Structure 1
Amino acid sequence: MYRCYPVSFIEKSDLEKGDKIIMPPSALDRLASLHIEYPMLFQLKNPSAGKVTHCGVLEFVSDEGIIYIPYWMMENMLLQEGDIVNVKNTNLAKGTYVKLQPHTKDFLDISNPKAILETSLRTYSCLTTGDTIMVAYNNKKYYIDIVETKPSPAVSIIETDCEVDFAPPLDYKEPEKQAKSILSDRKQPLVEDEPPAKIARFSPFTGSGRRLDGKPSTQPVEQISSPELKQKQTDKEIKGSDSKSSNTASHRPHGKLVFGSNATTSGTQTTPKVSQTNTNQEKSQKEEEPTFKAFTGKKYSLKS
């Protein structure tokens, strides 16, 4: 049982980069009388908190009843200056696998973190699951948790080939996936766009025909389905209308317009029905008008 103090008390702050402790000379005499294995490894235990870790030894030069340990080990074991710690010699198996977890993602920004870690761990004798070690690089301290060790919870890393794996840093946050936003959009009811209201098309020359004299029109009204159809037909009808326009002009009544008919100056084809209706209208008008008959009336004699 020893009272512990940080290594800074004896002006050996460089020991903070490893897990080596300073013990009194009496400990060396006691260990020499025992048949122990080298290198010397020890188990440190805090009886009040139940914390356990493992370490190596650098020198046997401290005062009797006192040991000096790195401050990061005192923090892991919840030890204060002058607290009592139990020191026990132990043997550890050589490690084959170690899983580490940095506290901050800044450690991953180093160009080659595995090489830096390999160089830093040369000052360590053993690793214990649950401990937090400190790696110093470029005037900055990086704290790393020992998540897992194989083949046992505490392993020796002296002259051994050990596979190292890294867990995500404690402050690492995964970026939000786009799939979540897509799923949230699917949950929302889809709003269908209302179909645009149909706009009524303008159809020229449709409706009922009207005469200028107020009499009902006997000519049927032909409706044109669409302006596009009319444009397609006009090219074909213009060729035939030129040859027939001279014939239909003679049957057309002078001084009269009939709305709704195809017999206009637009160049469309004139149907036989339209010319027949025009002639029928002329006959009916002639029958209605009184005709002049010569040599009709009362007779008068020249005799007195």
Structure 2
Amino acid sequence: MFGGFPGNFGGHSGTFENQYRCYSVAFIDKPHLEDGDKVILPPSALDRLASLRIDYPMLFEVWNDSAQKSSHCGVLEFIAEEGRIYMPSWVMENLLLGEGDLVRLKSATLAKGTYVKLQPHTSDFLDISNPKAVLEKTLRNFSCLTAGDTFRMNYNNKRYYIDVVESKPSQAICIIETDCEVDFAPPLDYVEPVYKKPEASTPVVSKPAAVAKESEVIEEEEPTFRAFVGGGNRLDGKTVEFQAPPPPRASSTESSSSSASAAPKKTAGKIVFGGPLRKPGEAKAPVAKKEAPKEETSEEPKFVAFKGKGNRLR
């Protein structure tokens, strides 16, 4: 075990502080510890903690002095080899620690958390049917949360990384036996949907009063008469296809009058048909009168009653 800090192990200081070589929990075949923030310390740490006036639950501040990084964690068991500490791999990633690096551990007292704001890294976290229930179950394995840390959550054989954006009432809070309000920020890869603006409608131009009245007068005028124009109904209920009638034709009298008017006018004069030509001064030849045809009379026999032949019965 690496040497501790002088003056930190007395019964009156009430502070535990020591250095250890850190390793991930995979070295002791406890992968379930990856779903929380608890570490495993050697038995000597329990003896020293018991002699000090340490507040429960036991919480610690973890420091990487070389990278000036710090976080907080709880403790689960005291079964590690002397001089070693086993912690979840995501805690080592936050502190920029490698296997076997030195880490400084110090006891801490944290206030009960009242508010925490979390931000998932990817949008697939939103695809979980009930993310609140899954997160509550995961945080049962946690003792504390520190703003600026990134913890890992495993669900359905998939890993989700979540940032601790903000915490109240302090930068680091204890979440054991407390009612803490949880808020979510949009995922880091979330893209706002693009909304298209609706196209501007053409403005309706109002007509002047005079123009409106003229249009009303034109609409009120009766249309010209067209024969055989209208709708009809079929007996079988089918729709009737409307065919426009042909344009009206001019009547024969109209055509004759139009042709007569179009023909050139002739000079007036007398024309005699059927008479022989005669020289001037000759008398007119007598014209034979035609006799009227005689009417042919045909005498029909007169009807005489009871003038006929008969036959006897015997």
Q: Structure 1 length as normaliser, TM-score?
A: 0.61
Equivalent pairs, count: 215
**1-structure distance, mates of 2:48, 2:78:** 12
**2-structure distance, mates of 1:254, 1:159:** 116
The answer to whether residue 134 in structure 2 is matched with residue 116 in structure 1 is yes
The equivalent residue for 2:93 is: 75
The equivalent residue for 1:105 is: 123
**2-structure distance, mates of 1:97, 1:163:** 5
**2-structure distance, mates of 1:84, 1:6:** 13
The C-alpha deviation readout for 1:212-233, integer Å capped at 9, x for no partner, is: xxxxxxxxxxxxxxxxx99549
Shift of 1:50: 1.4
Name the one with the larger helix percent.
1
The answer to whether residue 34 in structure 2 is matched with residue 16 in structure 1 is yes
SS at match of 1:9: helix
Q: Alpha carbons of 1:233 and 1:134: their partners in 2 closer, same or farther (altered >3 Å)?
A: closer
The equivalent residue for 2:107 is: 89
The equivalent residue for 1:257 is: 260
**1-structure distance, mates of 2:258, 2:111:** 125
- Of 63, 66, 76, the match for 1:45: 63
**2-structure distance, mates of 1:106, 1:165:** 17
The equivalent residue for 1:159 is: 177
Matching of residues 1-304 of structure 1 within 5 Å = 1-179=19-197, 182=198, 232=225, 257-258=260-261
SS at match of 1:142: strand
Q: Which amino acid aligns with 2:260?
A: L
Q: Alpha carbons of 1:30 and 1:254: their partners in 2 closer, same or farther (altered >3 Å)?
A: closer
Shift of 1:30: 2.4
Q: Which amino acid aligns with 2:131?
A: P
SS at match of 2:111: coil
Shift of 1:254: 8.8
Q: Which amino acid aligns with 2:152?
A: M
Q: Alpha carbons of 1:234 and 1:143: their partners in 2 closer, same or farther (altered >3 Å)?
A: closer
SS at match of 1:257: helix
**2-structure distance, mates of 1:93, 1:108:** 30
The equivalent residue for 2:14 is: none
Give the percent of matched residue pairs that are identical in Structure 1 and Structure 2: 61
**1-structure distance, mates of 2:167, 2:156:** 27
Structure 2, unmatched stretches of 5+, are: 1-18, 203-221, 229-250, 270-314
SS at match of 2:91: helix
Q: Which amino acid aligns with 1:155?
A: I
Q: Which amino acid aligns with 2:117?
A: K
**2-structure distance, mates of 1:99, 1:44:** 22
**2-structure distance, mates of 1:90, 1:44:** 10
Shift of 1:60: 1.7
Q: Alpha carbons of 1:99 and 1:232: their partners in 2 closer, same or farther (altered >3 Å)?
A: same
Q: Alpha carbons of 1:285 and 1:152: their partners in 2 closer, same or farther (altered >3 Å)?
A: farther
SS at match of 1:16: helix
SS at match of 1:165: strand
Shift of 1:169: 1.6
**1-structure distance, mates of 2:258, 2:104:** 133
**2-structure distance, mates of 1:21, 1:163:** 26
**2-structure distance, mates of 1:81, 1:4:** 6
Shift of 1:171: 2.1
The C-alpha deviation readout for 1:59-117, integer Å capped at 9, x for no partner, is: 12222221111101001111111111111111111111111111222222222111111
